[in-house]
Each structure stands twice: as structure tokens, then as C-alpha cells.
Structure 1
């Protein structure tokens, strides 16, 4: 095995518990496993999160939801013990039957989406489909617009016996920004929208908003306390005891965007990265001063060096921006607990590192590409991006699954 990922069950479960503690006992934490659990492997992570106590898991689409159901069952978790699964990025007509078949809960915001579900429910013996209605309060991405559009949709939904509005949600665009005027405006729009939901006679069980940064920034913004109060108010008016929920993704896996503008960082400092991406040395050679390394000769050895060849490159998710020249330091890996610098260009499936000064490095030696000593934040800083993109981009050839 030349290139693989290990996932720490202890760290993943620990991050979930940390986030749940930050949210408070009265607010549920939906654990997002979309995008193959941010590159960590949803089939590996979903059972860990279920056993850690997650009531809800979030997936991208219906196919991913079906795969997560299968993974939970394969891990020995019975259907009655499995979390609910929220399909977060819409659906098409052909998905409606699978939503019912796999017991998924779709996020909806268009009448046609709900018409497909009503049709599929009728074909499945008259089941009642739970849905979560998304309100667009400022992302202009997905969600029904507050006001007339929302009221028309609610009026139609109210007459559909095959549908049950189990939840109402929105998504903050700037939750990682302390004192965000956009968040304040979105909160106000969502409050007004929830008033329309209650006025329409609908009885949502769940009211949810926010992401990992919402929990991290709650000391400065109070968004979780606000959400909890909003849900309690909805429950008081509708008589269903509505509950609040936040949706955490990247923080589960050990990362969180820094809060801009002096926010509190409630959880970021305590999170532990879950993924360790490893490879093995497939070649070792000596080069003399003056020899070039890699494509275009951007790195020239200024001294005699010992180099190790790694079977990993940008096709595997190791960003080309981590390349190094004589004028620019690049990324690094870890060998025997020591940093080994990348030299030359990261190529498609091969990368060269400097192992000078580490005795007896040999073919087959284990190398940490991403993990303790070299984090996704490190890669992101060099690549000019965010940790989300780094971990989601890891395409390790094999996944070892759970580690300690």
C-alpha cells in the first residue's frame, strides 16, 4: 500500500462531543458527512458519529444518503438506532422514490420538489414524508425567499397530507465574521419567516441555522442562544416544543476558519485533526551540488543532498502550490517525526523530499503527508486556500479506516 488515509475514531468522537458541549444540552448538533465526510470517508465516519450520539447526519444528495444508510447498517447499527439523515443540496424527480426507500429527510424550497415527493409517496402506499424547508435569508443560493414566495409555498404545503414540515432552516453567509451586519440581517429575516410558518399553521419540530463557525463564534455573536430562543418561541406558539439545531461540518474533522474581527474562538483551539494521510518512500538517491530536481529545474541543489521519492502528487490531492524552488520554500512531510522539505515541483503522482540528515532512510519507510506536524491549515496557507479544500481534495488510493 503506497498511499492511504487513517481516521482517528477517538479524535472524531472527541470533536463531536466538544461541539455538542459548546452548543449546549438544549441544542442538537447535526454532524455533516457530505462530500464523503470532507474527504475522510463517510462510510468510516458516519458510524463513529452515530455511536458518539449524533441524532442527525447531513449528506450532499440522495445517493450519498443511501450509501450512509448502508454503511451504518454494515457497522451493525440497526435502522431504529440510526440517526436521521438530512439531504442538504436538493433533489430531482428521479430521487424522490429513493428518498422514501432509504428513509431520508430532504431539504426543499421549491414547489416542484415537493410535488415529486407527493407523487412518490402516493406510489409507496401513502407514506407521510418529512421535509425541512430552507429559507433564503441572504445567501442567494438555495432556499425560498421570505415574503410572498414563502407564503405561497406554505399555503400549498399546508394542504398536502403526504408532507410533514419537520424542520425549517437557513444558512448564515458570514458566521466566521465577528459583528457581521449580514448575520444580523439574516437573523431578522429568519425570525420574520418563522412567524409566517407559525401563522400558516405549520408545526416544525426542528429550527436550525449555522455551521461550525457559528459555534466557534458564539461568544461574540450569541447566535446559538438566539437560535435556541427562536425555537422555543416557535414551540410555544405552535405547541410542538420546537428544538434548535446547528449543522457542523469541518470542525468535526479538526479544523475551523479563524474568526475575523476579534471573535472568541470557542472551540477552534481544542479541535484535533482526524485525518492522517500517509505514503511510503519508493526511492532514495544522492545528488551533488549543482544538480537540478524535478520539472523545469526550479530547484538546484546547493550542496550534496539525500532525496527520497514519494508516490504522491497533485492527482492524489497534494497541491502543486506546495512545490519549492531555491527562491521559495514549499511544503513538507514528516519522516520519523522530523520535517522533510519538498524540493522541486510536485508532479502528478510523484514528489521529492529532502531527507538529508536523517540516517538510514530506506525504500518502504512510512511518511506522513498530512497529519501531526503538517496540517491541512499548513497546506492551505501555502496553496492560498482553506482547509476545507485541502481535506476534500485528498484522493488517497486506499483508506485504512479507523485508527486510534
Structure 2
């Protein structure tokens, strides 16, 4: 419902542009990462988009995310990054590739499935230095032995960079660790058809590490994967729009919103925006954030509430009820990016978009 004229506008053409740009830069295939409801952009709808443009494989964090995509009519093969219980895997074998992320997990799967484990497709996640998930190098011999004994279907292998966005030398160390591990496994007569390690930052800034696939997430949505180096060819996919719900006047000495954290030093015009932290607009932006009205910056005054916040409109002329407000996006010559809000809130850009709640409708457009 657009009862309060508040919605997130998702530009499909920009999303396709970003995928194609990454594909051309890396000269390899792309696995779009659609976890966390496509970083707040709508996983089901964008899964349909990538299926229509011929993408063969997508990735999600958890099996439940993949199930939801498939329930909505998308049949594209789906790589599941994280742990799933053997029972849930048994109920969802076709169309999925599961990750083996530890010796303990593989042992659990073998104990549950026995020889029937060969019916399931797997990718090996190799721990090359992230130390969060992945098979430890010292367990490779045991992993190799079990793969052979149970004829496990290894479709691919991957790892994950810890510091690609920092553009430091650790990325090379991790890459070399991964290549060494792959060679060790393949020298043991286990074929690994598909190899991938590059996230968004690595895809853009270290394309020489691309291998068979890259799996970008944040960059496909047009947001920057690094605050050190900017890729200007990326096009933002999401615009968050709202409206002026009240035109007011704050007199000199008066306060606004909960806690009375802002007092007017002089009489100022204000506008109330019908968006709050229940919509995913960060409360940390209280007295820090800003919106665009009439193409001009209007600062938030007072605390962001659950359903509203207030901005100062001194620099505007004749603000009207129902007038367009931009929370993220472009209006006339000014832009508010997810990166801008993230900097003010003390977080990262995809924390901003992934927190936009279901209370904010997504509208999908096709515009250049």
C-alpha cells in the first residue's frame, strides 16, 4: 500500500547494468548474491530478473531464503552458504547446492544420509584466513578421504576474502592459500569443476582472481564495496521516497520530538516525514541525517521516532503537504547515497538498505 506515499523504488535496468559491468570486468560468470532479501531490494523479484537474463546460479545465506525464492516461481539453481540441518536438506535436494564448511558438518551429513549423500550437490568452503566458516586446511586429508569413500558430489569450491575492501596484501595470501588447497584436493583425484573466491570488492579491484565465477553482492545493487576506492560505473538500484506529512513552525526556544534533544535558536519552518525506525530508518540519524525536498538538503532535528521524524525547511519556499521527499537517491542536482547515511550512522552501506523493513513497499521500475 502507498497510503503514506512512502516506498523504495528498485531500478531493474540499473541492477542488470551492474551485473553486466562486473561480468565484463572480470571476464567470467557471475553468481548474484541475493541473501538478506537481496540486501533489502527484494530477492524474489531480482531472482526473476537474473533468471530472465540467463544467470545460471544464485547464492543465498540460508536455505529458507532459497525456499522462499523458489516458492515464488524461480527455478534457478541456488547455492546455500550457511549450515542447514540434514533433515531440511533431505526435504530440499533438487535445485540446491549445499556448502560443506567443516569436517564436523560433513560427518553429520554422512551419518544422516549414508551412501545416499551422493544425491546432493556440494561446494567446499575452504578457510583461507577469514576464520569464520570453512574447512580448516589441517582437516583436508580427512575431508578428501570421506569424499572418496562416500562418492560425494563436489560441484565446486570457494573461499571468502576478509579484507578485499581494504585493498591490502592479505587478499593475495588468502588467494594463494585457496589455490594451494584446491591443488592439493585435485591432486588427490577429486575433480572440482567450479571455483570462486571474489566478492564485490575483489571482483572490481582484483579481477585477476576471478577464477570460474565471481559472487558479488553489494556492487550489484550499485553500492560501493570499499570506502578506499570508488567504482564510478556502478549505478544505484534503490531510491527511497516519502512525502511531507505535516508543515509546521517551531518557535524560538521550543523543542521537538522525544527527549527534547533539539531546541530552536530562532523560529523555523519544519516538515514531518512519515518514516521512522520501524521502517528501518536508523534512530542513530537523529539530529544528524538529512533528506532532500525541492532538491535541497533539509536536516533532521530532534530524534527519529518509530513512525516519523522532523526536518528543518528554512531554505525552502512554500513547502506543501504531500510534496516528494528523498531519503536515499537523487532529486534535482543533489544525491543522498546509502554511503552518506552509513557514515552518519556509524555503519556500512548495506546495513542501511538491508534494514529497510517490509513496511516499506518495493516498486520495480525499468528506467535508464
Q: TM-score, normalised by structure 2?
A: 0.90
CA contact (8 A) 1:213 1:259 kept: no
Q: Where does residue 355 of structure 2 map in the other structure?
A: 393
Q: Where does residue 225 of structure 1 map in the other structure?
A: 208
- Cα deviation, residue 213, structure 1: 0.5
Matched, 1:344 2:302: yes
Q: Where does residue 146 of structure 1 map in the other structure?
A: 137
Q: Where does residue 95 of structure 2 map in the other structure?
A: 103
Once residues 360 and 120 of structure 1 are traced to their aligned partners in structure 2, the CA distance between those partners, rounded to angstroms, is 69
- Cα deviation, residue 276, structure 1: 1.3
Q: 216, 238, 256: which one pairs with 1:293?
A: 256
Q: Where does residue 252 of structure 1 map in the other structure?
A: 220
CA pair 356-295 structure 1, distance change in 2 beyond 3 A: same
Please, which runs of 5 or more residues in structure 2 have no aligned partner? none
Q: Where does residue 22 of structure 2 map in the other structure?
A: 19
CA contact (8 A) 2:86 2:112 kept: no
- Cα deviation, residue 202, structure 1: 1.2
After alignment, is 204-213 or 152-161 more displaced? 152-161
1:197-250 per-residue CA deviation (whole Å, 9 max, x = no partner) reads 1122111110110200002222xxxxx32453xxxxxxxxxxxxxxx1111000
Q: How many residues align?
A: 359
After alignment, is 169-178 or 135-144 more displaced? 169-178
Matched, 1:302 2:293: no
Matched, 1:185 2:176: no
Please show how residues 1-16 of structure 1 align to structure 2 within 5 Å: 1=2, 2=4, 3-16=6-19
Matched, 1:137 2:128: yes
- Cα deviation, residue 109, structure 1: 2.2
CA contact (8 A) 1:109 1:142 kept: yes
Once residues 195 and 276 of structure 1 are traced to their aligned partners in structure 2, the CA distance between those partners, rounded to angstroms, is 45
Once residues 49 and 314 of structure 1 are traced to their aligned partners in structure 2, the CA distance between those partners, rounded to angstroms, is 31
CA pair 4-259 structure 1, distance change in 2 beyond 3 A: closer
- Cα deviation, residue 104, structure 1: 0.7
Matched, 1:159 2:149: yes
Q: 337, 341, 358: which one pairs with 1:375?
A: 337
Once residues 283 and 155 of structure 1 are traced to their aligned partners in structure 2, the CA distance between those partners, rounded to angstroms, is 68
Please show how residues 195-274 of structure 1 align to structure 2 within 5 Å: 195-218=183-206, 224-228=207-211, 244-258=212-226, 260=228, 265=230, 268-274=231-237
Matched, 1:32 2:33: yes
CA pair 394-135 structure 1, distance change in 2 beyond 3 A: same
Matched, 1:42 2:43: yes
Q: TM-score, normalised by structure 1?
A: 0.82
Cα RMSD, aligned residues only: 2.2
Q: Where does residue 319 of structure 1 map in the other structure?
A: 282
Q: Where does residue 128 of structure 1 map in the other structure?
A: 119
Once residues 30 and 284 of structure 1 are traced to their aligned partners in structure 2, the CA distance between those partners, rounded to angstroms, is 47
